[in-house]
């Protein structure tokens, strides 16, 4: 009896081992059959994509990728977006099929449209010893995507309908449309040239940007905040359309040229804009970064046109408001002396603090002229207020005079600074001071 039980046990054990082996072998075959690609696409030399409407190549170069689009007369090359090429290859290698099946006899590739696919992709590798990889995708009326690759030529694969669109991308999907190429933080020189407008050149120094051109602004401080915003706008600028066929501007002289030097680059990132006679809504552009010309809408180009005045440092004067201890204000025929005390600012002879003085002092430091200053005022200007800012020893820090002028734009007034120039500035500070220190009849100078 024991011998019989032992033999039964041996038979059952053999059957279990055989079943396990069969199961593992069967599962391995299923896994192998359902696997799309057996290796990653991380050392690719080129990707050739042939779609229903166009063909193009993505080619690896020293600094990234290029998109090459052939036409009847040439093979246009332009920079590609490295991240998009990498994403395309990653998606291609990481696909997970829903089904896989043998492609033999009556169930050959033609049954699923893979003999004439909508998308044909050829991947070549940097290692010449690796054979090129061919991939095909088709889509049926039920929105199912079918795939085939040369690694497993006897199998076809079924994917979700969205897979077809992921690989039927047009060439424009990969094109780098960035117009300028520079690192904003490393810019040390900027130049704008207009043949019939304001042109300027600024260079970074120890104290920020200052003018090299035009001559009347040489060594004058440029506005760091304005230039920072301007450079940021340039860095974000994208072409509306790249011209993938040979093209030249209609006119020889550019309407606008912008050059940006950054880092250790000896040559600037340069962009030229040309008018188009039959298309006033666009400009024809050429860029040192892009290898093909482009179109940009006229509105965007107009926002790039900055005069020397626009990027000039326009603060009227600098002031350390912590040093101000006394403010003397003459408004009409009234004179006020305001002193800084421990509890706040108080008018001589008054019993209450005057609120808003610290804010007014801050507004002094923020005053910017809204147009070019003048040496002399028109007869229409009328003196309104005179302010003297003194330190704790009674020494004068600043002296300014405000004037009203009906010829100025609404919301502006003239302000005379210690340098003798008359600056058109916002009248907000003047109105604040008039509200705090009312005047009597106006005295003219």
φ, ψ for residue 58 (rounded to 5)?
A: -110, 115
Mention every residue, 6+ apart, whose C-beta is less than 8 A from residue 255.
194, 195, 273, 274, 275, 283
DSSP string covering 369-410: -SS--BSS--TT-EEEEEEEEE-TTS-EEEEEEEEE-TTSPT
pLDDT digits (tens, 9 = 90+) for 170-202: 998 999 999 999 999 999 999 999 998 889 999
pLDDT tens-digit map of 309-353? 999 888 887 889 999 999 999 998 899 999 999 889 999 888 788
Q: What is the mean pLDDT of residues 258-269?
A: 94
What is the structure's pLDDT at 443? 46
Give the pLDDT score at 366. Answer: 85
Query: Does residue 13 surpass a pLDDT of 80?
Result: no
Residues in the chain, overall count: 445
Render pLDDT for 65-118 as a digit per residue (tens, 0 to 9).
999 987 645 567 889 999 999 999 999 999 999 998 876 544 445 567 888 899
Strand partners, 262: 187
- Quickly state the pLDDT bin for 31 (edges 50, 70, 90): very low
Q: What is the pLDDT of residue 110?
A: 58
- Please write the tens of the pLDDT for every residue from 371-427: 888 889 989 999 999 999 999 999 999 999 999 999 999 999 999 987 688 999 999
Separation in Å, CA 298 to CA 181, 198, 242, 275, 280: 21, 18, 16, 9, 7
Q: What percent of the chain is predicted at pLDDT more than 70? A: 88
Residues 6+ apart with CB under 8 A from 332: 384, 439, 440, 441, 442, 443
pLDDT at 400: 94
Strand partners for 133: 123
Cβ atoms of residues 49 and 33 within 8 Å: no
pTM, two decimals, is: 0.69
pLDDT tops 50 at residue 445 = no
The whole-angstrom distance between residue 368's C-alpha and the CA centroid of its chain comes to 28
Distance CA 218, CA 371 (A): 18
Reduce the DSSP state of residue 60 to 3 states and report it: strand
Q: Give the pLDDT of residue 24.
A: 40
45 vs 365 pLDDT, higher one: 45
Strand, helix or coil at 252? coil
CB-CB contact of 67 with 57 (8 Å): yes
């Amino acid at each position: 009896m024991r011998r019989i039980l032992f033999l039964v046990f041996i038979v059952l054990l053999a059957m279990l081992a055989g079943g396990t082996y069969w199961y593992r072998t069967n599962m391995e075959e299923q896994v192998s059959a359902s696997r799309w690609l057996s290796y990653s696409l991380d050392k690719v030399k080129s990707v050739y994509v042939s779609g229903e409407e166009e063909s193009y190549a993505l080619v690896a170069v020293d600094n990234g990728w290029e998109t090459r689009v052939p036409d009847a007369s040439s093979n246009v090359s332009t920079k590609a977006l490295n991240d998009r090429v990498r994403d395309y290859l990653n998606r291609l290698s990481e696909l997970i099929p829903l089904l896989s099946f043998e492609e033999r006899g009556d169930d050959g590739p033609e049954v699923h449209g893979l003999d004439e696919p909508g998308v044909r992709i050829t991947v070549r590798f940097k290692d010449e010893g690796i054979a090129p990889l061919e991939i095909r995708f088709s889509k049926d009326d039920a929105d199912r995507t079918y795939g085939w690759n040369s690694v497993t030529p006897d199998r076809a694969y079924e994917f979700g309908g969205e897979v077809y669109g992921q690989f039927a991308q047009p060439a424009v999907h990969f094109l780098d449309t960035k117009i300028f190429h520079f690192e904003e933080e490393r810019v040390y020189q900027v130049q704008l040239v207009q043949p019939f407008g304001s042109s300027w050149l600024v260079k970074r120094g120890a104290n920020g940007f200052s003018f090299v051109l035009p001559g009347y602004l040489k060594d004058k401080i440029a506005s760091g905040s304005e230039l920072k915003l301007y450079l940021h706008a340039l860095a974000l600028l994208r072409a509306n359309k790249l011209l993938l066929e040979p093209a030249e501007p209609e006119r020889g002289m550019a309407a606008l040229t912008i050059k940006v030097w950054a880092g250790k680059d000896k040559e600037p990132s340069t962009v030229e804009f040309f008018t188009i006679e039959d298309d006033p809504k666009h400009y024809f552009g050429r860029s040192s970064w892009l290898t093909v010309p482009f179109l940009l809408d006229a509105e965007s180009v107009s926002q790039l046109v900055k005069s020397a005045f626009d990027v000039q440092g326009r603060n009227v004067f600098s002031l350390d408001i912590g040093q101000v201890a006394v403010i003397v204000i003459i408004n009409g025929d009234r004179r006020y002396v305001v002193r800084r005390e421990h509890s706040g600012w108080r008018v001589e002879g008054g019993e209450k603090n005057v609120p808003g003085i610290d804010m007014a002092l801050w507004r002094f430091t923020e005053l910017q002229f809204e147009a070019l200053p003048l040496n002399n005022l028109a007869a229409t200007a009328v003196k309104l207020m005179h302010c003297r800012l003194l330190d704790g020893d009674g020494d004068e820090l600043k002296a300014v005079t405000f004037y009203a002028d009906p010829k100025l734009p609404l919301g502006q007034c003239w302000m005379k600074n210690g340098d003798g120039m008359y600056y058109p500035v916002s009248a907000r500070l003047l109105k604040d001071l008039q509200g705090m220190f009312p005047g009597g009849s106006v005295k003219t100078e």
